[in-house]
Amino acid sequence: MPAHDVLIIGAGLAGQRAALAAAEKGASVAIMSKVHPVRSHSVAAAGGINAAISVDDDWHSHAYDTVKGSDFLGDQDAIEIMCSEAPGEVMHLEHMGVTFHRNDKGEMDLRAFGGASMKRTAYVADITGQALLHVLYEQLMKHHETVERFEEWFTTSLLKDDAGRCCGVLARDVRSGRMEAFTAKNVILACGGAGQAYKPTTNGLIVTGDGIAMAYRAGAPLMDMEMVQYHPTCLVETGILITEGARGEGAHLLNANGERFMEKMAPNKMELASRDVVSRAEQIEINEGRGVGPNGSGIYLDVTVVPRKRTLEALREIVNLGRDFAGVDITKEPITIRPGQHYIMGGVKTDVDGRTPIEGLYAAGEVACVSVHGGNRLGANSLLDTLIFGRRAGEHAAARSASMGMPAVDTKAQLREDAGRIDGIIARPHDGRRVSEIKNELGELMNKHAAVFRDEQGLQHALGEIGRLKEEAGKAWIDDRGTVFNQDVLGAIELGYMVDCAEATVVAAIERKESRGAQFRTDYPERNDGEWLKHIDITLEDGAGGGPRVSYSPVTITQWQPEERKY
């Protein structure tokens, strides 16, 4: 049975940064992922990473922009840590070999992003996540003696000892179907968000809320789950993301009348207001009949106003996306976009060192809620979040492991239980619904009732339907009854994870009876600091068979008092 000081679940930017940090502190590390690490969803991050690098900038300005962007729901102590440590982390990445774009003077170039008071987004064309991920993976190769990689292993549950401490995981080897227990002094969840609970989404097929649901089932609280970001610019045809970098370079949003409608919603920031503001503005245009494209369901993103040379240099990937998936040359004509589900601001509740209330369990990246994003994440703060808090979680877990022995835990019973659960899925009779059918219905339900605009009636309807889908998911049948690369059985397990995440999201959205950030309630259209300047926490009562229970925790305010948010 493998045993390590620090076991990391997920090999995207948060996981790899945590692994490097723990290894550099002398810990024995294992990093486990259900896909090859460079296929982690971090590779899809396009626009850049924020840091107050310019001589004219200051991290306090970055922190204030982040607090304001969060609609004052972000915890300011965590935001201060993230923003103050950002310049050093970005320069460290450059020294490791990330080829950030340079300007004519040879200095690191910075582009404008939404909600920022100045240009502070470092970037590698529009493939920033891919560039960062590959460099970190190269660095990880240097630590092959202390970092063991388990690629294509699917985690099924967390291990806890009799005292309630997390001390490892159970996982299935995707290549063979073999189940194994992995013990560890500390476990760091770094396995991303839950975007696939929505349809459409910009998230890859692997983003199924695994870590959020496993921690939830183990007793960890979730926080801010109602805050789900819709990105303003996704292809109407497919939901594929068109990076905010396009608007950062100067692209315009136009309605059917050719109007730059953001003048009405955000006269100062226009297209570079915060994402929730831009997405709502677009949806209003569509709902009121000023949309474009099929059934008026889209908005024009006009990149032709950006010099063609600059577009081909800094936005080359979306040139390809426009051509391949929409049949449009974005250097010559506008492309049709709409808001699409993009990011989960909520997640497993942690402190600034990644610790959850379960001893020995950490979380970092989109799976976690520190909370640095609050009600709305600023573009290019996500990569920063993964790296800063991935590193901090890795360092803290390594330090904790140095002062303790390897935990003793009996894994046989839980191994039998998880293996039996998988065998039960494989053996289900073909008289229920297919996994894909239930997943599609869940995604469309969430996109209809828990999206840019929400109300009590729609949310209550969604909650009832999720209860039905949860029952149906427990009976869903699969075709593949083999052991080698059985993606069918993994999809059935992932469906359960997504349903749990969706339920927590809707329960929290019902509870928050105000509009703040990404939560816009048409029946409660105003922000209400008197009653709702607080986090909503969701815990699972009575283990995996219980239901969600709501509680609250305070928002940490250090130096910026809530004010009306205007762009």
Q: Which residues are catalytic?
A: 275
d(CA 497, CA 410): 25
Beta strands in 110-227 (DSSP E): 121-122, 147-151, 153-160, 166-173, 179-189, 222-223
Which amino acid belongs to residue 83?
C
- Find out whether the peptide bond into 200 is cis, omega within 30 degrees of 0: yes
Asked if 389 contacts 368 with a C-beta cutoff of 8 angstroms, the reply is yes
Q: Is the dihedral of CA 480, 485, 491, 493 positive or negative?
A: positive
- What SS3 class is residue 274? coil
d(CA 356, CA 350): 5
Strand order in the sheet with 299-302: 228-235, 335-344, 299-302, 252-254
The residue whose two tokens read 């049975």 is 1
In the chain, what's the furthest Cα-to-Cα distance?
68
In 361-486, alpha helices (H): 382-402, 412-426, 435-449, 456-473
Element (H, E) at 557: none
d(CA 143, CA 30): 11
